Amino acid sequence: MKLLKVGTILLLFLSGCSPTYQQPVSLPSEPFLVIAHRGASAYAPAHTFPSYELAIEMGAHYIELDLHRTKDGKLVVLHNDSIELNGSELEIDEITTDTLSAFKPADEFNRPDNKFASQRFTSLRVPSLEQVLREFGDQTNYYIEIKSPDRYPGIEQQLFEQLDGHHLLDRDDPLPKVIIQSFSSDSLKKVHELSPTTPLIQLYSFKKKANLSSAKLKQVSRYASGIGVNAEVVTEQLVEAVHQSGLAIHPFTVNQSEQASTLISLGVNGIFTDKPDLIINLLHQNSK
């Protein structure tokens, strides 16, 4: 079924109707997905153009984008919901993009013990979503996390308007051009209403054991295509239960070959990593 455009969805909502419910799409079983966590963030400041460029050059299937919204309504790409600027902690939704432009993502990356630190990173600034999409277009795939959606009412609609404007939604590519993830099930359900053919990933983080029953996974499968979970809690039993529910599983964040090899042997479908080259080289070795 062709993707309903955002404008069509809005007309349905305004007229008091809602789209017919659709079963979530299934993610392709191949290839094993290498997801560049904030880009190749082991080698360049997270969520910056150099980090994304490196990830694409290394062959990552997806670059991850974390989204927040500024006080003046711009979607921006960074992980934390606050920044430290001039000795003050500032919430992203309480500052404008002009204020945010003074923040330097390289300050934390260029610490003395980081062998990848470089002065060429000092001029980098937090990019907007629009800048990222304009820069990379359809030369890569996007794995986008909606961060703190409760703080940004309407962010789902705003995101899809921008994605639709860059012709990233209604496509017939081997891999989905866009995957959306969030810890918020409510936000993901809104996304599923906006775009039933966009794969969604329900995120979880557990301290010791993944508390995901078959009933819970079945509920997730009503709106999502998979789950993302911290790698430390992934077991063979969890992978089997996820797959039996028709879901994919993408653990985060894996930067060691031994841990990656273990997860691959357990049957996970992809891995978030700061080091896309490490995972890609490991997959190449395993295929020989």
Query: Which residues belong to the active site?
Result: 37, 79
For residues 272 and 136, what is the distance between their CA atoms, to the nearest angstrom?
20
Residues in Cβ contact with 236 at an 8 Å cutoff, skipping those fewer than 6 apart = 266, 267
Query: What is the C-alpha to C-alpha distance for residues 162 and 75, in angstroms, rounded to an integer?
Result: 10
Closest CA to 195 of 25, 15, 48, 11: 25
What is the C-alpha to C-alpha distance for residues 104 and 124, in angstroms, rounded to an integer? 6
Burial of 157: CB neighbours in 10 Å, binned 0-12, 13-18, 19+? middle
At residue 135, the 3 state secondary structure works out as helix
**CA–CA dist 68, 182 (Å, integer):** 12
| Residue 235 in tokens | 């077991």
| Lookup result for tokens 């080259």 | 277
Write out the H or E segment, with its range, that includes residue 247.
Answer: none
Among 26, 34, 1, smallest CA distance to 245 is for 26
d(C-alpha 280, C-alpha 157), whole Å: 34
| 3-state helix/strand/coil string of 25-43 | CCCCCCCCEEEECCCCCCC
User: CB neighbours of 222 closer than 8 A, spacing ≥ 6?
Assistant: 24
